[in-house]
Amino acid sequence: MSAKVTMYGAEWCGDCRRSKKFMEGNNVEFNYINVEEDLTAAEKVKEINNGMQSIPVIVFEDGTHLTEPSDNDLKAKLESLNIL
């Protein structure tokens, strides 16, 4: 089964570490893409965020995304998709 969630982030980003920890702690399978190592991913983040480089960007299988979500917002979205 492939991951239904993709997270764009960077190791230095506190919000990224928090979202990553939340998903790992809840056994959510996700692809993590480091925007520092993958410049095409950095461009994708800017495209999603209308030119802003805000991270994390978490993209879901339904085509929606969350940028810099709180744990509560992330939890609600994952529950709505029956991932949590």
- Contact by Cβ (8 Å): 42, 49: no
Report the length, in residues, of the chain.
84
pLDDT value, residue 10: 97
- Contact by Cβ (8 Å): 10, 63: no
Q: What is the pLDDT of residues 19-73, one digit of tens each?
A: 999 999 999 999 999 999 999 999 999 999 999 999 999 999 999 999 999 999 9
Using only C-alpha atoms, the chain has a radius of gyration, in whole angstroms, of 12
What is the set of domains in the chain, with CATH numbers? 5-80 (3.40.30.10)
Whole-structure pTM value: 0.93
pLDDT value, residue 3: 73
pLDDT value, residue 2: 61
Distance CA 19, CA 71 (A): 7
pLDDT value, residue 1: 45
Strand partners, 9: 34
